[in-house]
Amino acid sequence: MQSFMCRRLLSLTAILLITFMPCVPVFASAGDAVSGDGASLTLTLEDPSTDKPYTKGRKALDDDETTFVTFNKGKTLRLSAEQPFVSLYVKWEIPCQWTLSLPDGTTFDGGKDGFIHEYCRLGQAVSSAELTIPDGAMLTNLYAFADANPPDWVQLWEPPCEKADLLVLPTHADDEHLWFGGALPYYAGELGYDVQVVYLTNHGETIRNHERLNGLWTVGVRHYPVIGRFPDVLATKESLDAAAYRFGYDNVVKFQVENLRRFRPRVVIGHDMKGEYGHGAHKLNAKTLLEAVALTDDPSAYPASAEKYGTCQVQKCYLHLWKKNQVVVDWDSMALTRFGGKSALDMAKEGFACHQSQLKYYSVEKDSVKYDCRKFGLAYTTVGEDTEGTNDLFEHVDWSDKVQIQEPSPSDPNPDTQPVSPGDVGTVSPSDTKRGFDWGRFLPSDAKSVLLAGVAALMVLATAGVCAMCAGRKR
């Protein structure tokens, strides 16, 4: 009887382990994240056509984002490590399509989402793999891990939002922390809202692309940002007219209308009309945004994006330092449990600290008369003005279309995705957090994975215990 029980438990454990161990390579997303403390392994690179070391590749193994290897012609490299590895983390200078082939013939295609930081689980432990790199690619860093759970610094990006609760529109990489302060750590990191960041300009092939992702990841953003095509050609400020001439005023309005329709945000945050410290591209981004939010529900305005995404109505648009209907969101007094009790302002500073190339120019300012990152004004609303003193960017916002995945119940074998109102399960408003909101409802899937792994571990332990008991009694 005892050995029968033992066998039953072993079978159950085996089923659980098989269930939790995928056997095909997958690109992991942020939802899969369970952070581990595993350090990356020491990799070596060889040219498989000659079996000789690929010495140029050292720049991809130096853990330094300022160096990279350029491949004018495509190349295949063999990666091997001192012990078997189960996952790979790759960084590129610009998006490219790449392939990884495992010794058993399994292959998978990377770069399909256009991410420059990409993590993939191999689904098996291998001692080598072949990386096929396309023409013109620039490989920045490669890491391999023996631990299936990557450490915190490994970024597992999710695609841009289907629908955003909050859309943030900085001009350059770093503006999101400098001028919008704790908005990203609070709404994306702490509350888990769907937050999309859309940058107006791009910085070409520079370190700022890595700094951007590192900063966003640090403050809890998990949806990959959208980066505009407008080049950041001037390092110093220029006038509104110069920026409008350079980018084409109408091109910028069109870009914003398209992104507003694509992400259908409830709330939008944009720049100071005076350009923060006077930067012409910041001014242009703010001025065109105010026009764009009023055009999103007009199908005759920029009809191509209306046809592609449909029209929508933005509920609220705040501009930094806007004088009317002003709110002061005290990021400094918001202790965030997600970040170990640090304040939203502390996290904005940590996000900005990732922008090493910009640290000598700027800092995140609080209580500054000119640049206070806590001060916003409601520049556009379709849901009424804010109640004075509430300082809640989501006050009056309609959440009725917020979709939550319902947990299946025993009586409902075919659960579906149902729209639910905030009164049912839905959404958190900042005031909910003050009342001891039920965070279990918003448990991220990484926490669920920890829970499942815990259950599996308990089953293994219980099985081992019963088996030991059986063995003891036999003796």
Cβ proximity to Zn ion: between 175 and 194 the closer is 175
Question: 27 forms bridges with which residues in the sheet?
Answer: 120
Contacts of 163 by beta carbon, 8 Å cutoff, 6+ apart: 194, 263, 264, 265
Distance CA 170, CA 278 (A): 14
Cβ proximity to Zn ion: between 171 and 463 the closer is 171
Strand, helix or coil at 465? helix
Minimum Å gap between C-beta 302 and Zn ion is 25
Residue nearest to Zn ion as judged by C-beta position = 172
Cβ proximity to Zn ion: between 260 and 281 the closer is 281
Q: Phi-psi bin for 195: left (phi > 0), alpha (psi -120 to 50), beta?
A: beta
| The pairing of beta strand 43-47 with beta strand 75-92 | antiparallel
Minimum Å gap between C-beta 178 and Zn ion is 7
Binding region for Zn ion (CB under 5 A): 171-172, 175
Contacts of 383 by beta carbon, 8 Å cutoff, 6+ apart: 315, 316, 396, 397, 398
Residue pair 373/179 in contact by the 8 Å Cβ criterion: yes
Cβ proximity to Zn ion: between 172 and 355 the closer is 172
Minimum Å gap between C-beta 326 and Zn ion is 22
Minimum Å gap between C-beta 175 and Zn ion is 4
The number of CA neighbours under 13 Å toward the Cβ of 96 is 22
- Position 93, amino acid: E
- Position 29, amino acid: S
Cβ proximity to Zn ion: between 169 and 470 the closer is 169
Cβ proximity to Zn ion: between 286 and 292 the closer is 286
Minimum Å gap between C-beta 171 and Zn ion is 5
Q: DSSP letter for 161, please.
A: P
Residue pair 318/273 in contact by the 8 Å Cβ criterion: no
Token pair listed for 406 = 């319902």
Minimum Å gap between C-beta 281 and Zn ion is 7
Phi, psi for 82 (deg, rounded to 5): -70, -15
Minimum Å gap between C-beta 379 and Zn ion is 19
Cβ proximity to Zn ion: between 59 and 237 the closer is 237
Cβ proximity to Zn ion: between 56 and 237 the closer is 237
Minimum Å gap between C-beta 263 and Zn ion is 21
Distance CA 293, CA 312 (A): 9
- Max CA-CA distance within the chain? 90
